Amino acid sequence: MDFQIGDLVKLTRQSIAYRKGTIGLIIEMYPSNLSGLLMYEVQLLGRYGQMGEKTPRVVRSLEEDLELFKKAE
């Protein structure tokens, strides 16, 4: 699937930083220097501050770990 900046996505893999099914906004995408795979920076939506954060959490993810929730207009 071809994602673009502004798409809302669902993260399909559990992480220590977020739960499986968390919704986020793609804010940046670029090829990895090591593998050449396309990396996505996703700003997580919802409540933040549960772990003391002052700003929304941003995570990096691979395309295979994302599912389209809503396409950017």
pTM: 0.85
CATH code of the domain containing 29: 2.30.30
DSSP class of 44: E
Q: pLDDT tens-digit profile of 50-59? A: 666 677 789 9
Calculated CA dihedral for residues 47, 53, 55, 56, nearest 10 degrees: -40
Please report whether residue 3 resides in a domain.
no
Please report whether residue 1 resides in a domain.
no
- Kindly give the parts of the chain with pLDDT less than 70: 47-53
- Between CA 29 and CA 23 the distance in angstroms is 17
Please report whether residue 16 resides in a domain.
yes
Please report whether residue 51 resides in a domain.
yes
DSSP 8-23: EEEE-S--SSS-TT-E
How confident is the model at residue 52, as a pLDDT? 67
Total tally of structural domains belonging to the chain: 1
Please report whether residue 2 resides in a domain.
no
Instruction: Please give the residue range of the domain that contains residue 22.
Output: 8-70
3-state secondary structure of 29: strand
- Note whether 49 and 57 are within 8 A (CB): no
